[in-house]
Amino acid sequence: MMRKVTTMKITVINGTEKHGVTYRMKEIFLERFRDEADITEYYLPKDCPNFCAGCTACFLKDQHLCKDAEYIQKIEKSLLEADLLVFTSPAYVFHTTGAMKAMLDHFGYRWMPHRPAKEMFGKRAVIITQCLGAGGKSTAKDIKDSLSWWGITTIKVVSFKLMADIDWNKIDEKKKAAFRKKLSAVAEKMRAIDYSKPGRTGLAVKAKFYIIRMMQTGLGKQDPEYTDFKYWNENGWIGKTRPWK
């Protein structure tokens, strides 16, 4: 019998459009996948250029009512279809770029207390951040917070401190070799995964799920037409079905 070969899909969300250090690091990480994966990249703010206006239509009614739905739904489809998600960002004042934060805000409705996508449970993600001296870890946390509240357990963070030059062409070759070694090692680890099987859903994500399930059950008793409750109920999560396998 012929074995069905499916191409691995990777979706990359770049927190900056600049072809600087973040870009070079992401390119090194992707080198290992270039020949075998179908890679889709988004650059921010170009591919998600507007801020969330706080209208709350996505939370209360339907995400397609968002004024930015054309951008958000395109990115969401790509995130849901991917086997591996890659997020990149330099540190800007100890945090992720405003462009990345603006995009993540638009996905507030996918946080677990609202309407998480079942495809996210069991997905794998890598976050690559770097900074001059400090703030790389808190930058990664800004992104990780969203990913884990979307339901993802397997999130690998790779963070670098440049400590001297911030221009890639001026960075010492020894230092570049060390960056390359670490990025390639993480890429190898992610390549070794069998993507035909979903990743493990860990205790922290499960605990969040059960607390919110209790909350949604209560909200549903007050108002069975409440958007988030209806979504949880239709997915069978108020009953015995779970989003993880």
Ligand X SMILES: Cc1cc2nc3c(=O)[nH]c(=O)nc-3n(C[C@H](O)[C@H](O)[C@H](O)COP(=O)(O)O)c2cc1C
| Closest alpha carbon to 231 in 221, 220, 240, 245 | 220
Residue 164 found at the interface with ligand X (CB under 6 A):
no
Residue 159 found at the interface with ligand X (CB under 6 A):
no
Q: How far is the CB of 86 from ligand X (least distance, A)?
A: 14
Residue 126: Cβ within 10 Å count: 23
Residue 134 found at the interface with ligand X (CB under 6 A):
yes
Q: How far is the CB of 88 from ligand X (least distance, A)?
A: 8
Nearer to ligand X, 131 or 147 (CB): 131
Residue 21 found at the interface with ligand X (CB under 6 A):
yes
Please report which residue ranges of the chain form alpha helices under DSSP H.
21-31, 57-60, 69-81, 98-106, 136-150, 173-191, 203-222, 227-234
- Segment 29-58, which members bind ligand X (CB under 6 A)? none
Residue 20 found at the interface with ligand X (CB under 6 A):
yes
Residue 127: Cβ within 10 Å count: 24
> Whole-angstrom Cα distance, residue 192 to residue 232?
34
Residue 166 found at the interface with ligand X (CB under 6 A):
yes
Q: How far is the CB of 16 from ligand X (least distance, A)?
A: 5
Residue 131 found at the interface with ligand X (CB under 6 A):
yes
Among 57, 80, 132, 238, binds ligand X (CB under 6 A): 132
> Whole-angstrom Cα distance, residue 159 to residue 64?
35
Pairing of strands 8-14, 124-131: unpaired
Q: List interacting residues with ligand X (CB under 6 A).
A: 16, 18, 20-23, 90-94, 130-135, 162, 166
